[in-house]
Structure 1
């Protein structure tokens, strides 16, 4: 807009000088029509060239990644300490919040006790196999003795040397001892199966107890939240005494990261015809009036919400008129040492496609006028 006004003003001064100041030509209706026609087309040429070869946007903002700080706790827990000051940079790994760890410390102690019990149970299983093996041997010995007595009485009874009820008793004893052998063998198989319940040579009971201990230690560690990256907490609303966990779901703070900030500028779709990744950019950040920063096109977001349809049982509706969606361009900026690059900071950007270089000076003037105008705009003294 400023460029258009400048071109118009220059042309009006030129017409005034030719027809009224120097009086080189006499102004009349015909010259008025010609002057208007030439001025309109001259302005149109400049505007079209600038829009396509050096697109400009004032819908531009600084974007920083944020991480939602969400406590990972299994039950309602009291926040005991807030260890970070708002709007203060912290480094990765510094403690931010500390919660009451009483219950979680007890859970670790309980899991440790269960692990020791599981290790002892594994040793007991080895002894169970030995005991079951000995039981099988005893049962075999008892059966062998019963078979010997059965055979002896089978010879004595026909000869009248023993009564029939004695032979019947040993027949029953043999059957009973055979059943005991089967029972002892089943117990031995059961003991072996329990002992062989292993993964990579470790008893599953021990592995289960170790997993429970690891889970308990994990939640105990989560009673202290650490900075996930270099960054800061901007709006500190968490206070000691606040309860989080199952009662309060969601984040307790937003952590603004330090690394990789960028500017996201939106443009009309037709203005991006010649824009490509890597092209140079000038940025006028409102925070620094009179300064123009350098950058480059990092990415073009070739998608808008108007091109997305969510699964639904409703048919899409198409109504006119609808404004076409603007396309976002991601821009990396060379931020000078000591300059702040706040998330949400507003800026104006100009992209130089390398085409129409004869018009570049107009866009460079344009963005610098915008930057210097920030000294007095808005007029809310």
Structure 2
């Protein structure tokens, strides 16, 4: 379990001195595998704003930008992305500093002032891949419009963090400690301080309203002994996009790969609460199901020997009758509590979704995980034991 120390500050008023936190974690919670200081990776990276742009005279695919680092200093940078606009906020690395994504490699890349096809470039504008917060390396990352010019990129996006990597084995019977809120509660208790869970986490009032034209959804739990609670909600007209930088930043600090805003928000909530969530593409569930009749069918059941599923990691695995699956009326669409299926994954064309929150028997999850060699964030949390009540929180 990777604990970003900055995240604890949002949920408790405890002393967040790193030595004190490390001492509490190691003596009262579990063994520490590593303490990682992220800020050194982002030295020399700043928020800047583009104030002018022009074509490169000697290269069709390059753009020349003037950027503002502060009121006194404008800087010329050549970039391989010509689609940036005047006014865009971008991350800039000063000459002499290392590209974050290469920081821990054998050959870190140090930025230099140099001529690019005959034009002077004083530094570098960064993609999300170069900032180590996402996979896109083709375009310069455009930051939030509210990001203040001249501030440290790490300070603004909380990448000036220290991450404590807690050994998972030490938390075998403490599923509540696989969420930031649970860890904040534990640290507060260790310091003798009161703790209040966030209101949205504890209140019974539903903070959403249902539409008159609901997406039809039928759920059948045929294995209640192995899945004591299974909850679904359908949502329509969602917009799938890249997540904001603050969300990518938190997920990266916690060791979770950003995917898109829908998948990332489910992982974000799991990171906060310890309760895994999964999102299905509603229309894919309906389309692939021969017995759908225009509605989505979700069935919790044991697999049939020989059934197969194409998992999100790209493998096609053959199931046994001891595996718990989430299925449509005919075929599996997810390996319950372990991994989702490729055929119903969220992508950039998704418009309607189903969100799953469930409580699965820890022993069947562990058995399925070992049988197929699948070790996911969901497996880690479910095998530590989850309360059925948490599925509704």
- TM-score normalised by structure 2 residue count: 0.19
Higher helix share: 1
Higher strand share: 2
Specify the structure having the higher radius of gyration (Cα): 1
